[in-house]
Structure formats: C-alpha cells, structure tokens
Structure 1
C-alpha cells in the first residue's frame, strides 16, 4: 500500500491475503479481503528519517478456499497494532 503521510487508508482488492500451510510449503487455506466489509490501515506515526511507521489495522477476510479441516469462513483482525521499518 502506498501512503503519503499519517492517516487512515482503505484496503481493498489484493492488498491483503492470509493463508495457512502444512510444512511451510503446502497452502491449505486462502483468505482475501471481504469486499462487503470496511478494512482499513491507520498510520499514527511516520518518521521519514528512520523510515519507520506505526499504526494499526482492521481487516475482514473471507475464505477463498480451504481443506475440510479448516472450515472457518470469515476472519476478523481488529485493531492490530504494528511498527515497521521500511527498507529501500
């Protein structure tokens, strides 16, 4: 996601996916952003000198496919906090 400054950004399309694996190489389930829900990323701090951002996000993801053992149809990530250093 491209951002310019602190603020709230809507997430859509293929900007986020979640998947589970077996053995780290076989994908057993895949979730994508729910187009019916409001998923957002909020940047609360941006330091251009150290290239760090802090913030939180809320995502709702819907199952695209899964094996029978993973029958969870909807994932909700609410107010997840993060701190990231961006490398060029």
Structure 2
C-alpha cells in the first residue's frame, strides 16, 4: 500500500469538469461514488489522507492537487495517466 511519501499525484482525465466539493467540510468528497452507484450523498465522506493526491484535468481545465482518502486513491489509481 502506498505511503504518504511515495504516493504519486494521480492525474485523472475527464471529459467534463464537475464542481469539486472538497473544500467543504466532511471528508475527501471524491465524486467516484457517483460513478459506482453507491447509495447516499454521491460523494465520499471518509477523511482525506495527506499525501494521497489527485489532479483532475479536462481539455480546458485543471483542478488540484486534491487530497482524497485511501479507498478513493486506490480506486482511482487504475484510471490515472
């Protein structure tokens, strides 16, 4: 499992930029729950972990690096560039 010091920033390419909610309180707020049809808020409310970072990019925009929880980081790793 990657540790804080050896985890790369994952670059996730999307067709459209979603409004990122991470800067609100309540967890890592990754939107991957929406894509996996997990019932609830549509965003992850687990605590974000320092050092587990993603950058979301589209053809015209970039957001990040953003801190996510370990489960979201692990789920997103196969999708990263």
Tell me the TM-score normalized by structure 2. 0.27
Q: If you compute each CA radius of gyration, which structure gives the higher value, 1 or 2?
A: 1
Q: Which has the higher contact order (CA 8 A, sep 6+)?
A: 2
**Structure (1/2) with the larger strand percentage:** 1
**Structure (1/2) with the larger helix percentage:** 2
Tell me the TM-score normalized by structure 1. 0.26
